[in-house]
Structure 1
Amino acid sequence: MIIVSPLVTVSVYGQRGLREGIVYAMIAAATYFFFQSVIVVIHEHIHSTTAFLLGRMQDPLAIVWGNPLTLDGWDEGVSYSALYTAGLGTNAAIIAVMPLLFHAVVVTAGMYLLLSPALANNKWSFHLFFWFIIVNLMELIAYMPLRAFAGNGDIGNINHGLGLSPWVLFFPGTLLILIFLRCLFFRILPRANVIIAGDSQPVRYAILFLAAFFVFDWRSIFRILLLPPSSAGWEIGAIGLIACTVVIVLCRPGLAWVRRAEKLVQGKTGS
């Protein structure tokens, strides 16, 4: 008969829990980057397909391919300057806005699904939809509010094409993002804690840290480390880092409101 002391038992359980957290973090990161690569291709093809349907592009497949991980070098292949010169600013705005509408619809429908009973008893289906929503929400946040006042890119082309002040899109766009963020971190995250993590605290922390890091655009956050404060884009990275930190502090596992929300989920799902 082998007798294991309580200290050793706790130590082994802690090591196992930490290992579970690391393994899930690796799975979640791989899932995120796979979906990110898929979404960037879809995003650019929505631009090009819209331009094709408007008669402003000959081949909707003729996008410029870039790096699927860093997302550098991608372009839809649409000549916005030519559209402006031809007085087709409205067409330019329609082409620019369509992928953003796609992401907004996907996030809305996906959040509804994650909050429904449909995925409550299927851990890996919930996992896939959760990170797919994270990728699409990140795409929205990367433009609004982080690049709401940019003179180029999708938001810049929408404003230029329609002759709008950046403030016109900033307020409703930012409000929509805040609604999405509240739903994600205060309603869906406790469900993920129960359905995905179960009784594993390390997995809970992995979900929270990665979700916050990715949703606020990890590329922008890294700008703080790679660029001097005077560089263009450093402010965007600072905003992303602050938002990421605030979410982690407010939604960390063990807080009273998080435990209450998890108990409600457990009561509804029978977990």
Structure 2
Amino acid sequence: MSGSIPKIILGSITFFLVAIGLFLLFAITMEVLETSRVLCVILGIFVVYSACILPAIDRRVERSKSGDEDTGNRRYRVKKENGLKIQKRRRYWDLISYLALLTGTFVVVYLVVLLMHELSHSLLAVLLGAKQDPLDIVYGSWIGSHWDENVDYTSLFATGKGTLAATIACAGPFSNILLFIITAWILSIKAMKNHPRIFHCIFWTCIVTFSMVFEYVYTRSFQAHDDFGNITHGLGISPWWIFITGTILGIIALYYIITQLLPTYLAIVIPNNRLLQYTAVSFFSFIIFLFYIGLRITNYPDVPEWWCGVSGIAALFIVPFLASPARGWVKRRMKADFWERNL
């Protein structure tokens, strides 16, 4: 009886954390609905696409290629106890738990990275004498709206301190870029593959900080305000320099994430579970291409930002198809990471 008490406590804690994660997922969905009903419909279509259409396409393709699996692939398949399939109830619980984990991880990491971004602005402003208190920032909602570094850029421009204003405006994006480089490097360390929980947290930190700065470059380079608006105004340069250079570098980084980090994450954190792997790839696509880029259609309806948002929605559906765990190149990459970890 005493041995069952810890299990009951652990089960209760797990259930509580799952409930919190699902609540956060519901809140994010409601935020999308309040922002735009069209985007909410797109989100609904994407869920159906990720849960039903894409797996069905992959199953049909895999059946058409029957007989191409070698012994190594068979050893990498899902291990079934006593030859029995995992019960559907267990699969659904795993899915719900993992969705809750993803949502909770995202919200926490998102707020931490956002706080780091704003404090970077504020701290540099204090060091350069533009404000007094580095903690004096505008703390917005938990979903990330209405946050601000609370730096009076208007006064800086009015007093001829445009270069100073641009320097302060650079601090936030620079902190995101630096964090992305550090987290991507940590994820490439071989020893990190033996710690799936840590790998999970660092991976999503990498994704969030990348998404934040890439969205800034891709959808806000031409804004009169925000970070890059203050940078271009203060330095007197064309926003096209930031847009073109930043977009090219961002696409290169995105390619690295999709082809290297994402398959490694699938192999290390959720190996041998195709359902959760589909979920991770879909959540990854949702974060970058809808939550960050796609939502800018309603926030910034001007061209070219509007078209950038449309391209993000297109990528929302294309990337999960190209990076599906059923793709041959993804399976080869996952298998390599799987064996490397278990050597």
**Match among 146, 153, 159 for residue 80 of structure 1:** 153
Q: Is the 8 A contact 2:116 2:175 kept in 1?
A: no
Secondary structure in 2 aligned to 1:78? coil
State whether residues 35 and 135 of structure 1, in contact with CA within 8 Å, keep that contact through their aligned partners in structure 2: yes
Q: Residues of 1 paired with 2:319 and 2:206: CA distance?
A: 17
Match of 2:219, SS state, is: coil
Counterparts of 2:142 and 2:168, CA distance in 1:
22
Query: For 2:165, which of 92, 110, 119 is the aligned residue?
Result: 92
CA deviation vs aligned residue, 1:203-232 (integer Å, no higher than 9, x gap): 1111111111112350543466xx59x945
Equivalent of residue 259 in structure 1, options 306, 315, 331: 331
Counterpart of 1:148 in structure 2 is 221
Q: 1:163 to 1:107 in 2, by over 3 A?
A: same
| Distance (whole Å) between structure 2 residues aligned to residue 24 and residue 37 of structure 1 | 20
Q: 2:208 is matched with which residue?
A: 135
Matched, 1:200 2:279: no
- Post-superposition shift, 1:19? 2.9
User: Which amino acid in the other structure matches residue 134 of structure 2?
Assistant: P
Q: Secondary structure, in 3 states, of the residue corresponding to 2:142?
A: coil
Aligned residue number for residue 4 of structure 1:
none
CA contact (8 A) 2:270 2:276 kept: yes
The residue that corresponds to 1:5 in the other structure is none
Contact 2:176 2:212 in 1 (8 A): yes
Residue 176 of structure 2, aligned match among 103, 106, 116: 103
Q: Where has structure 1 moved over 4 Å in runs of 4 or more?
A: 230-234
* Residues 17 and 201 in structure 1, CA contact (< 8 A), matched pair in contact too: no
Q: Please, which of 176, 189, 195 is the counterpart of residue 122 of structure 1?
A: 195
Q: Is the 8 A contact 2:179 2:206 kept in 1?
A: yes
Residue 237 of structure 1: how far off its partner (Å): 3.1
Give the corresponding residue for 2:313.
241
- Could you tell me which runs of 5 or more consecutive residues in structure 1 were left unpaired when the two chains were aligned: 1-7
Contact 1:51 1:78 in 2 (8 A): yes
Displacement, 1:68? 2.0
Which residue is equivalent to 2:113? 39
Cα distance in 2, alignment partners of residues 149 and 136 from structure 1 = 21
CA distance in 1, matches of 2:306, 2:237: 25
CA distance in 2 between partners of 1:53 and 1:222 (Å): 34
Does 2:258 align with 1:185? yes
2:54 paired residue number:
none
- List per-residue Cα deviations over 1:189-213 (Å, max 9, x = no partner): 1111111111111111111111111
1:176 aligns with 2:249: yes
Where does residue 23 of structure 1 map in the other structure?
97
In structure 2, relative to structure 1, the CA distance for the partners of 1:167 and 1:237 (3 Å cut) is closer
Q: Deviations over 1:136-192 (max 9, x none)?
A: 011112201121222210011111110010111122211221121111111011111
In 2: Cα distance, 1:162 partner to 1:196 partner: 44
Letter of the structure 1 residue corresponding to residue 312 of structure 2: G
The match for 2:23 is: none
Q: Give the distance between the partners of 2:296 and 2:129, measured in 1 at CA.
A: 38
Give a deviation string over 1:38-84, Cα, whole Å, max 9, x none.
12222111111111111111222111111021x22111111111111
The percentage of counterpart residues that share the same residue type is 31
Task: Name the TM-score, length of structure 2 as normaliser.
Answer: 0.71
Alignment RMSD (CA, Å) = 2.1
Paired residue type of 1:136: T
Deviation, structure 1 residue 239: 2.5
Aligned to 1:50: 124
Pair 1:190–1:220, CA change in 2 (3 A) = closer
Maintained 8 Å contact 1:145/1:170: yes
Of structures 1 and 2, the one scoring higher in RCO (CA 8 A, sep 6+) is 1
1:3 is aligned to: none
User: 2:155 & 2:202 partners in 1: Cα distance?
Assistant: 39
Q: Which runs of 5+ in 2 are unaligned?
A: 1-82
Give the letter for the 2:111 counterpart: S
